[in-house]
Structure 1
Amino acid sequence: MYLAITVLLLVLLTESILFLGYSYITTITYDLYVKITRDNRVAKQKKMKTDVLRLKAELGQTSSQDEFSKWAKLRRKLDKAVADLEKLNSDISYSRAAFELKVKSVLWFLVHGSQVVMVLWFRKSAVFYLPPGWFGPAQRFLSWPSAPEGSVSVGIWFAACRRMIKALALTVNDFVLVPSTEKKIKTT
């Protein structure tokens, strides 16, 4: 019976990942990674953004005709700060993309690879046995591809669990999420 529960929990986990989406999970994971590691580039980026905004405000208050030398000096400072900020943004963006690619690869293996490994590893195992004669000739199909006859195979149990979880999610979506949006539409 542990195999049936393990498969059900694995399908629940994988369907939750697919429901949330790889991009959402990788974004949350990256934000958490940055907070935990306290990446100094992110702190430097925030400081550089505030400096650029301060320089822009100072440049806006300086007259280009009356105080040209001060204005030109501030303009060069601002241009250099913007160029440095863009370079840092590029570096952070590159490292973020690499991190997200790694996380998406792990998620893909967790979703698809774990199921393939489970089906291959337990292909000859019975998840549980059916009472004889209840399903007639369909009993052979339920034990497909190589589980003992009269039992349910891991592959069929994966498909049944996946179908049940998706149907449950659609039902919850129809009865819980849709009425709340209808109320918002009626009130506006």
Structure 2
Amino acid sequence: MSVILKVFLLVFLGEFIAWIGESVLLEATYALYLRLFYPTLASRQKTLKSDVLTTKAELLKTSAQDQFAKWAKLRRSVDKGLGDLEKLNSEMASVRSGFSVRFKAAIWLSTTGLQFFVGWWYRKTPIFYLPPGWLGPLAWILAFPFAPRGSVGVGMWQMVCRRSIRVGERLVKEFASPAVKTTPVQNPPVNASAEAKAKKDS
């Protein structure tokens, strides 16, 4: 794969992730991660919540004075369920925290980190050459950082790709959003007889 395409795809990946949103990707990936590596945690949490809510509803219907033994048993069951649920929530929060750190590190490495590495690795490689004398003395700017004079360097190519993708994204959003149609305000229909009467009275 050519350098010009590698750089473009890396920049596109970074912009695509930014467009979707890291938090959205984190939620979707975390749900998949739970299903693959902790399949019982989510189901246990759901079952425990349901049990606690059912028992609590039954407790509220039970009179503490008339049915004290049943009420006390239900109360102990609710307290135990809430304690178990709190421990499970704490365990899931720990799992989520560890996953979030690894996920964000992977996203950074696969986008920004990789772009830095590619920029450094190909820092002296010309992406493509410009026609001779095209920009005159300003041609060295396009060779940023260390490409030969008269060529476009990897750093400048990254900037051009990023800018072009953002402009394209903005155009797509503008065309995709439904056009707001404004209807002109019309005057209410005039009642001819009422108008004639008004003239006559005046």
Q: Quick one: distance in 2 between partners of 1:152 and 1:124?
A: 10
Q: Quick one: distance in 1 between partners of 2:62 and 2:144?
A: 79
Q: Quick one: distance in 2 between partners of 1:41 and 1:51?
A: 15
Task: Give the C-alpha shift of residue 175 in structure 1.
Answer: 2.2
Equivalent position of 1:11 in the other structure? 11
Q: Which runs of 5+ in 1 are unaligned?
A: none
**1:3/1:127 contact within 8 Å kept:** yes
The structure whose Rg is larger is 2
Task: Give the C-alpha shift of residue 8 in structure 1.
Answer: 0.9
Q: Quick one: distance in 2 between partners of 1:32 and 1:3?
A: 34
Equivalent position of 1:129 in the other structure? 129
Equivalent position of 2:195 in the other structure? none
The equivalences for 1:33-112 within 5 A come to 33-112=33-112
Read off the aligned partner of 1:35 and give its amino acid letter: R
Equivalent position SS for 2:123 = coil
Task: Give the C-alpha shift of residue 111 in structure 1.
Answer: 2.1
Equivalent position SS for 1:59 = helix
Return 102-111 or 154-163, whichever deviates more.
102-111
Q: Quick one: distance in 2 between partners of 1:146 and 1:91?
A: 51
Task: Give the C-alpha shift of residue 38 in structure 1.
Answer: 4.6
Percent identity (aligned): 44
1:145-165 CA-to-partner distances (Å, cap 9, x unmatched) read: 211111100000000000000
**1:147/1:153 contact within 8 Å kept:** yes
User: More relative contact order in 1 or in 2 (CA 8 Å, sep 6+)?
Assistant: 1
Q: Which runs of 5+ in 2 are unaligned?
A: 184-202
Point out the structure with the larger helix share: 1
Aligned residue pairs: how many? 183
Q: Quick one: distance in 1 between partners of 2:35 and 2:18?
A: 25
Task: Give the C-alpha shift of residue 68 in structure 1.
Answer: 1.0
Equivalent position of 1:138 in the other structure? 138
Q: Quick one: distance in 2 between partners of 1:38 and 1:76?
A: 29
**1:27/1:100 contact within 8 Å kept:** no
The equivalences for 1:101-180 within 5 A come to 101-177=101-177, 179=178
Read off the aligned partner of 1:11 and give its amino acid letter: V
